[in-house]
Amino acid sequence: MILMDNNEMRHALEEELHRSFNHWVPEQDQELREILAYHMGWEGAGAGEKAQGKRIRPMLVLLSAAAAGADWRVALPAAASVEYLHNFSLIHDDIEDQDEIRRGRPTVWVKWGIAKAINAGDLMCMLGLLSLFRLEKTVSLEVSARASQILQETCAHLTRGQHLDLSYESEQILPLESYWPMVGGKTAALLACCTEMGAISAGVDEERRQAFRDFGWHLGLAFQVVDDWLGIWGDAVITGKGVGSDLVAGKKSLPILYALQKPGQFHDRWMAGPVKENDVALLTEYLEKEGAKEYTRQKADELTSQACAALEKATEYQNEAFQGLSQLTDVLLKRRS
């Protein structure tokens, strides 16, 4: 018997997202519906799969629930919930970071202005939280309440990561240690929330819940470190960004912060002012001389191993869902773009 089918999961997820949307955002609020549906990739110019993103987070919830022994369908409200929460944070982050393009389309604030975008983001946040209440029916009141608390704590954690990120923008140099709290909040917290919510939907004990959480957390950290590696050594044709794009953007990524710790050519050139495209080849060489490429690769491997170990501890049987999570881990951590 085939218990799981990714297409079926994905289809059920979109259904759950729409059910919640139609339930909580009334027809008469036409423009608000339009803004939210646009951001979700359902409507407007450029709507479609690419605009919807990969829905990695909700898939992580569903696969975790299944790996923890539940029918993944009971975790659908939690899956919808994290996807909306993620999209809420994107709407606000895009304003805060002044990003004009998201998934190949103009961002909400570019299309509707900052005021309406902030407000629509707030509604998306509520939609995320309200989506979770159906968990009272699919699982239980107790599980729904705990999932809700985890979700809200995660959201608070996201704002703390984003605040650090915003604060760091004006700094030219930062100690290496400042990297982890920022990345923890910006990326790992939400993935840890996904795997934990899947686990508690299945009613696992405290030890396994923690193992699921650890899996998501390390997966998130590893994902970001891989992203940072690609931001400098990724193939520009595949990533779609310029060569060494993080150097030009002055991003405080892991290899850059690592190299900046050491007094040397990279440090001196970085402090001398903005990096131009012409400088990228030379600065990449300096980075490598300081051992930053090696260090970043090692960190990625270390975090990937920790994620895999936590996953093995979390899942009792190496069932289909376990395979699904392993595959997802591979896709996320061995990607080239």
Residue 14 lies near a second copy (rule: CB under 8 A): no
Cβ distance to a second copy smaller for residue 29 or 235:
29
Place of tokens 């290899």: 255
Give the integer Cα–Cα distance in Å for 60 and 216: 9
Cβ distance to a second copy smaller for residue 159 or 327:
159
Residue 22 lies near a second copy (rule: CB under 8 A): no
- Which of 4, 37, 110, 130: binder of a second copy (CB under 8 A)? 130
Tell the smallest beta-carbon distance from residue 14 to a second copy (Å).
21
For residues 223 and 194, the answer to whether their CB atoms sit within 8 Å is no
Place of tokens 């909400």: 108
Cβ distance to a second copy smaller for residue 80 or 95:
95
Residue 201 lies near a second copy (rule: CB under 8 A): no
Give the closest residue to 193 by CA, choosing from 212, 207, 178, 180.
Answer: 212
- Which of 20, 162, 187, 329: binder of a second copy (CB under 8 A)? 162
Specify the DSSP class assigned to residue 105. E
Place of tokens 């609020």: 29
Give the integer Cα–Cα distance in Å for 332 and 310: 16
Pairing of strands 101-102, 105-106: antiparallel
Tell the smallest beta-carbon distance from residue 187 to a second copy (Å).
16
- Give me the 272-291 binding string for a second copy, x by CB under 8 A, dash otherwise: --------------------
User: How many DSSP H helices and E strands does the chain contain?
Assistant: 19, 2
Cβ distance to a second copy smaller for residue 143 or 247:
143
Q: Is the dihedral of CA 293, 294, 296, 297 positive or negative?
A: positive
Tell the smallest beta-carbon distance from residue 117 to a second copy (Å).
9
- Output the CA–CA distances (angstroms, integers) from residue 26 to 34, 41, 98, 109, 126, in the order listed: 12, 19, 30, 22, 13
Give the closest residue to 60 by CA, choosing from 72, 50, 70.
Answer: 72
Cβ distance to a second copy smaller for residue 25 or 79:
25
Give the integer Cα–Cα distance in Å for 93 and 91: 6
Considering only residues 94 to 113 of the shown chain, the ones binding a second copy according to CB under 8 A are 95-97
Residue 38 lies near a second copy (rule: CB under 8 A): no
Residue 55 lies near a second copy (rule: CB under 8 A): no
Cβ distance to a second copy smaller for residue 63 or 147:
147
For residues 258 and 290, the answer to whether their CB atoms sit within 8 Å is yes
Cβ distance to a second copy smaller for residue 81 or 296:
81
What residues make contact with a second copy under the rule CB under 8 A? 24-26, 29, 31-32, 92, 95-97, 114-116, 118-120, 122-123, 125-127, 129-130, 133, 136, 141-142, 144-145, 148-149, 152-153, 155-156, 158-160, 162-163, 166-167
